[in-house]
Amino acid sequence: MGVTAESASDRVLAGLGKDYLRTHVERAAKILAGSKIPCLWIFLLGGPGENKETVQETINFAQQYISRKDVVFFNTGIRIYPGTEIERIARQEGSLSLSRERCLPRSATFLHTWIAPGFLGR
């Protein structure tokens, strides 16, 4: 089963426009840990509101709540689709500077500049 939690930080979930909180993600993890169904958990790092503390919060969540039978995937950056709130935020923050004609209707990737390649490769 795939679980696209996206983050375990209320700040980041709000920045992504999600209508659920970390407590909802915790509840899901607790329920799924008691099942025999293996899960793939997907988290997106580097979106609006993300910083080093919120990344660590999500990593800590995965270590504490996700069952050992499950797999966790951390993706750096999120896909931006034209006309979305994420596109507006990325342009406002300067993370997306290409003109719409050059990058859209294809998607682009939003990634805060402080997340360097290899950031998670400890």
Q: For 84, which DSSP code? A: S
Confidence of residue 20 (pLDDT cuts 50, 70, 90): very high
Q: What percent of the chain has pLDDT over 70?
A: 82
Instruction: Work out the average pLDDT over 68-94.
Output: 86
Give the pLDDT mean for 42-48: 92
pTM for the predicted model, two decimal places: 0.78
Residue 57: pLDDT band (50, 70, 90) is very high
3-state secondary structure string across 2-28 = EEEEECCCHHHHHHCCCCCCHHHHHHH
Residue 106 has pLDDT above 90, yes or no: no
Task: Give the closest residue to 16 by CA, choosing from 43, 52, 47.
Answer: 47
